[in-house]
Amino acid sequence: MSPELLNDVLDAHGGRARWAQVNEIRCQARCGGLALAARWQKNAFRQYDARVSVDRPRVRFNPFKGQRGWFTPERVWIESPAGDVLQSRSRPRSFFPGGRRALVWDALDILYFGGYAIWNYLCTPFLLDHPDVHLTRGADWEQGGETWRRLAARFPDTLPTHCRDQIFYIDDRGFIRRHDYTAEVIGGYACAAHYCDRHRTFDGILFPTRRRVLPRRRNNRSSPFPILVWIDIDRIELY
């Protein structure tokens, strides 16, 4: 456990007391990148509104492929504007990463991937305060003339996320600047360095509004290209 560093990060992002007042995050965002295009889902999240529950993994995307998309760990589904279920899949994680998903994803596959990813991103760093997330302090990291503190997190199997073991890089302000993981639903080779910047405060909570995911090399440095996933957030509202 690394309580002092975690406290610094949570305080910098708005604090536990303010976060405890939040029930839902609503964001307007745009997303793309090679990881989506390579699975034939280039435009799945080109522009969307997301409603993200903070007390449990649950996300609604509107629009999603001209309809509405819902994510939960147990089930993903697509519904019409009238609320009729058009497609549905239970236990979506169990279908990854083998078979045809090594090359092609369908709408429900990308819905699962996008759903758990945006839930993690918008709930971090407060997700690290979950009682079943185990934290340890790592060695400092030098990058771009800055020294970033590192916080290693082991997530429980009960939380949908990229992988169990992840690393967060924190600058001297307490801002998360980089996030390392392996996107296991893509494959064990999908080692990523996820950079966060253009931090803005919305109603008392700090969020990065520009995210770029790059390949992570064996020496832990990132490759400058290709951009695997990019996310730009235009607006956030808290309820």
The DSSP secondary-structure symbol of 12 reads H
Beta strands 67-71 and 24-32, pairing class: unpaired
CA atoms of 152 and 121, how far apart (whole Å) = 16
CA atoms of 139 and 57, how far apart (whole Å) = 31
**Where residue 81 sits, what CATH number does that domain have?**
2.50.20
The DSSP secondary-structure symbol of 137 reads E
End-to-end Cα distance, the chain: 31
Give me the domain span that covers residue 65: 3-238
Q: Which helix (H) or strand (E) holds 24?
A: strand 24-32
Question: Which pair of tokens denotes residue 180?
Answer: 């390392």
Write out the chain's pLDDT in tens, 239 residues: 568 999 999 999 999 999 999 999 999 999 999 999 999 999 999 999 999 999 999 999 999 999 999 999 999 999 999 999 999 999 999 999 888 898 899 999 999 999 999 999 999 999 999 999 999 999 999 999 999 999 999 999 999 999 999 999 999 999 999 999 999 999 999 999 999 999 999 999 999 999 999 999 999 999 999 999 999 999 999 99
Question: Which pair of tokens denotes residue 34?
Answer: 């090679």
Tell the residue number behind the tokens 């002092």, with chain if given. Answer: 4
In 3D, which of 166, 172, 79 has the Cα closest to residue 117?
Answer: 166
Return the bridge partners of 49, or none: 28, 62
Is the Cβ–Cβ distance between 72 and 36 less than 8 Å?
no
Q: If DSSP codes are grouped into helix, strand and coil, which group holds residue 94? A: helix
pLDDT tens across 28-82, in order? 999 999 999 999 999 999 999 999 999 999 999 999 999 999 999 999 999 999 9
Is the Cβ–Cβ distance between 184 and 168 less than 8 Å?
no
Number of domains in the chain: 1
Question: Which pair of tokens denotes residue 217?
Answer: 């090399």
CA atoms of 73 and 57, how far apart (whole Å) = 7
Question: Which pair of tokens denotes residue 115?
Answer: 């759903």
